[in-house]
Amino acid sequence: MRLIQNMTTITEYPASEYSAPNRAIKIAVIGGSGVGKTALVVRFLTKRFIGDYERNAGNLYSREVQVDGEQVTIQVQDTPGAQMTDNGTSLLDHVTCSIQWADAVVLVYSVTDRSSFDLIDQLHQLVVRSSGASMPPVILLANKADLLHLRRVDSQQGPILAGNLGCSFYEVSASEDYNQVHGAFHRLCCQLAKQPPPASSSPPTSATGVTEKRRSLLIPRPKSPNMQDLKRRFKQALSAKVRTVTSV
């Protein structure tokens, strides 16, 4: 597949075709539970929308692509849903680790879930706190835009929040519109690809050494075989649909 946008080209290849180590672009996707994080990641990487997923335990997905002639590996960390508690938020250890690992962060809420919108401000603060001196690029995604009758977050509120946080905003539907989802991730990838790759020998840029940790120690290990796992789930979903059709 070849995509051209703003003079930047991205060509996707099956990961198995290449063995040479590439530059990696690492993206962490964070947000409340059930907002569609997995659906968005899978849609971006495979073009497919699969309705049902197991509850996310923190999978790492990757895909080989070519950006402006440079072969890169896009790695997307799908984090478990953060939840609001009386004391703040929970399930944040994994989220914090993902932020420190990532080159960029995608914050996600669902337009059908007011609490997921209210959570964004706290998650953004967590990104600021976890990033030290090297704040990564952040984009805000409002998902499930197709569910008009269930909307609980007004369409003007997303852009206002994004403006306050200083990040780009996209309202998307993982289920209905691949181009919207792809466009949002694509622009982020192009932005990251234009940045110079980190020098492996460079010293930490902050007293906490967050930058150095981001590149090395805190890389979460994949908890599933990524594309293999995706293919297995897709086959399961297909065969379930075939069973439903044949039994009607």
Ligand X SMILES: Nc1nc2c(ncn2[C@@H]2O[C@H](COP(=O)(O)OP(=O)(O)OP(=O)(O)O)[C@@H](O)[C@H]2O)c(=O)[nH]1
- Binding part of the chain for ligand X, among 46-54, 61-69, 97-105, 160-168 by CB under 6 A, reads 46-54
200-219 mask for ligand X (x: CB under 6 A)?
A: --------------------
Q: How far apart are CA 107 and CA 31, in angstroms?
A: 6
Binding to ligand X (CB under 6 A) within 141-160 occurs at 143-144, 146-147
Residue 221 makes contact with ligand X by CB under 6 A? no
Residue 169 identity:
F
Secondary structure element (H or E) that encloses residue 190, with its range: helix 178-194
> What per-residue string of b and e applies to 145-172 under the rule 16 or more CB within 10 Å gives b?
beeeeeeebeeeebeebbeebebbbbbb
Residue of 8, 33, 157, 191 interacting with ligand X (CB under 6 A): 33
Among 8, 34, 73, 224, which residue sits at the site for ligand X (rule: CB under 6 A)? 34
Using CB under 6 A as the binding criterion, the count of chain residues that bind ligand X stands at: 21
Site string for ligand X, 49-78 (x = CB under 6 A): --xxx-xx----------------------
How near is the Cβ of 68 to ligand X at its closest, in Å? 30
Q: Which is nearer to ligand X, 28 or 39 (CB)?
A: 39
Rounded CA gap, 187 and 198, in Å? 20
Query: What residues does 74 pair with on adjacent strands?
Result: 25, 63
Q: Does 81 bind ligand X (CB under 6 A)?
A: yes
Name every residue whose Cβ is closer than 8 Å to that of residue 10 and which is 6 or more positions away in sequence.
Answer: 2, 3, 65, 66, 67, 186, 189, 190
Q: Is 116 in the site for ligand X (CB under 6 A)?
A: no
The rounded distance, in Å, linking the Cα atoms of 20 and 209 is 29
| Contact flag: residue 140 with ligand X (CB under 6 A) | no
Using an 8 Å Cβ cutoff, are 23 and 185 in contact?
no
Cβ at position 37, least distance to ligand X in Å:
4
Which of the stretches 170-178, 199-207, 221-229, 234-242 binds ligand X when contact is defined by CB under 6 A?
A: 170-178
In angstroms, rounded to a whole number, what is the distance separating the alpha carbons of residues 57 and 198? 29
224 binds ligand X (CB under 6 A): no
Q: Looking at 25, 30, 45, 80, which residue binds ligand X (CB under 6 A)? A: 80
CB atoms under 10 Å from CB of 96, counted, come to 17
Q: How many helices and strands, by DSSP H and E, does the chain display? A: 7, 10
Among 36, 132, 136, 220, binds ligand X (CB under 6 A): 36
CA distance 243 to 7: 45
Among 75, 173, 211, 226, binds ligand X (CB under 6 A): 173
According to the binding rule CB under 6 A, does residue 180 interact with ligand X? no
| Residues that bind ligand X in the complex, under the rule CB under 6 A | 33-39, 51-53, 55-56, 80-81, 143-144, 146-147, 173-175
